[in-house]
Amino acid sequence: MVPVLGYAGGMAEEPDNSEQFDLVTVFRSDEHTAEMEALAIQGLLEAAGIPAVLVGTAVLPVLPFEVRVPRARQQEAERLIAESQLAGPQAAEEAAGETSGAGPEN
């Protein structure tokens, strides 16, 4: 293994081969709603405690948007996405209504 030089002083450090950085794609779309869908999925996963990275740019809308998660959390993320899609938009609206009504009364 070749050491990675950390700075000009020459101190060598081992590269981090952590699985945390081994990301896999759990959502990919190049439809006109891809950015909104990817942001919603990223929010869903992060709310469940699954780190999610959004890949894509609105500057070049011809490129797809992706959501990636650590490989170790792939199955959990895919299950959450599938459950969310089965529940549909009405379930999301109901959940949003429940959380918005949880605040203090004015």
Judge residue 62's burial from the number of C-beta atoms within 10 Å of its C-beta, 0-12 exposed, 13-18 middle, 19 or more buried.
exposed
CATH no. for 17-88: 3.30.70.790
Would you state the pLDDT for residue 87?
Answer: 85
pLDDT value, residue 32: 87
Alpha helices in 1-106 (DSSP H): 34-47, 74-100
Instruction: Give me the pLDDT at residue 45, please.
Output: 95
Any idea where the domains of the chain sit in the sequence?
Answer: 17-88
Residue with more model confidence, 18 or 64? 64
Helix (H, G, I), strand (E, B) or coil at 45: helix
Round to whole Å and give the CA distance between 2 and 73.
Answer: 30
| pLDDT interval class at 15 (50, 70, 90) | low
CA pseudo-torsion sign 43, 32, 93, 71: negative
| Residue 8 confidence class, pLDDT cut points 50, 70, 90 | low
For the whole model, what pTM was predicted? Answer: 0.67
For residues 61 and 38, give the distance between their C-alpha atoms in angstroms, rounded to a whole number. 13
**C-alpha to C-alpha distance for 29 and 7, rounded to whole angstroms:** 40
pLDDT tens, position by position, 41-99:
999 999 999 999 999 887 776 789 999 999 999 999 999 999 988 887 776 666 556 55
